[in-house]
Structure 1
């Protein structure tokens, strides 16, 4: 949905996915229309939020409305995050397994971020993006 030339509203629908790979698919559909590039990592997600390719330019003000965000919070919560870190540790290189183990330990002790919280932090780090959780 387009508000003006420089203001855009984008909808992420949490009912369209139940895991991180599904989130990447959803984001690719809504943010990378008419491109061959697909989001597949947290860094890649952060990169596309700078704009300049996909559906908005870097100077655009963007409102992201995350529908069914509570479902996403549960789907991308503790269990999904633990599996995410454990898979990276199993894979080893090129991942910094010591850092990932530290993040996993912090998560298990109750002090670490879930994938959902990491995604929210990434979105909120972009000053031109307003996030609305529904």
Structure 2
């Protein structure tokens, strides 16, 4: 089984989350994922990158609490507000998500990322706390 390690301490916002995803999953590729949940979902299917042909994989997410904070309420709000200003996105969908975020406090971006990982049963996501010394 392939084992990969994400370092939540490297994640300060959505762009640095994707920097870490690319560092871990796209090493050796001549292209990288952009900041897109759809692209993350496609990559986790295993069509390219480290998961291509790997079958089952374990992803250990060190310092996930740091990532959860970085991809939390303020980051999610800013992302949704930016979508409201960008004509490429569905404004109504973004507004509904923003309204829910303001009313219920979620889901935050981190929650959505966990949901996407959870949709891929061939990936065992392990949320870990303290950094591992290699």
Tell whether the structures are fold-level matches, with TM greater than 0.5. yes
- Superposed CA RMSD in Å reads 1.2
* Aligned position for 1:72: 67
Which of 4, 7, 13 does residue 13 from structure 1 map onto? 7
Aligned to 1:43: 38
Q: Determine if the alignment matches structure 1 residue 119 to structure 2 residue 121.
A: no
2: CA distance, partners of 1:76 / 1:58: 30
Distance 1:78 1:60 in 2: 34
Deviation at 1:111, TM superposition (A): 5.5
SS, match of residue 109 in structure 1: helix
Runs of 5+ consecutive residues of structure 1 not aligned to the other structure: 1-6
Structure 2 stretches lacking a partner, 5+ long: 129-134
TM-score, normalized by length of structure 1? 0.90
Give a deviation string over 1:1-22, Cα, whole Å, max 9, x none: xxxxxx1111000111211100
Structure 1 segments (4+ residues) deviating >4 Å: none
Distance 1:88 1:131 in 2: 29
Corresponding residue for residue 106 of structure 1: 100
- TM-aligned CA deviation for residue 102 of structure 1: 0.4
1:50, 1:58 within 8 Å by CA — same for their partners in 2? no
TM-score (norm 2): 0.90
